[in-house]
Amino acid sequence: MNNKIFCTFLKKKAKKQKIQFYPGKIGKLIYKNISQQAWEQWIKKQTILINENKLNMNKKKDREILTKKMYKYLFKNKT
């Protein structure tokens, strides 16, 4: 079983995630294209964003904001 994918975030082959951590279509996209290492980097960034922006994950609006930031970080943060 191949446990590596080409991670579009890291731009190299890396260990894939064991399970799909995020639900829905975006979750499938993340699972197929984002490595475990990149996902762990996002989790650290997510914690910082939640704290700095005082986001409340019980509020739909705040969850939507975080989802947009996650997508931008993982897929559009190409420098």
CATH code assigned at 24: 1.10.3880.10
For residue 1, the model assigns a pLDDT of: 59
CB 19 within 8 A of CB 29: no
Domains contained in the chain, number: 1
Instruction: Measure the CA–CA gap between 66 and 69, rounded to whole angstroms.
Output: 5
CA distance between the termini of the chain: 32
Its domain, for residue 53, covers: 4-75
Please state, in angstroms and as integers, the Cα–Cα distance from residue 25 to each residue in 32, 50, 52, 71, following that order.
Answer: 11, 23, 27, 12
Instruction: Measure the CA–CA gap between 79 and 12, rounded to whole angstroms.
Output: 15
> Which residues lie across from 16 on neighbouring strands?
35
| 7-57: pLDDT as tens digits | 999 999 999 999 999 999 999 999 999 999 999 999 999 999 999 999 999
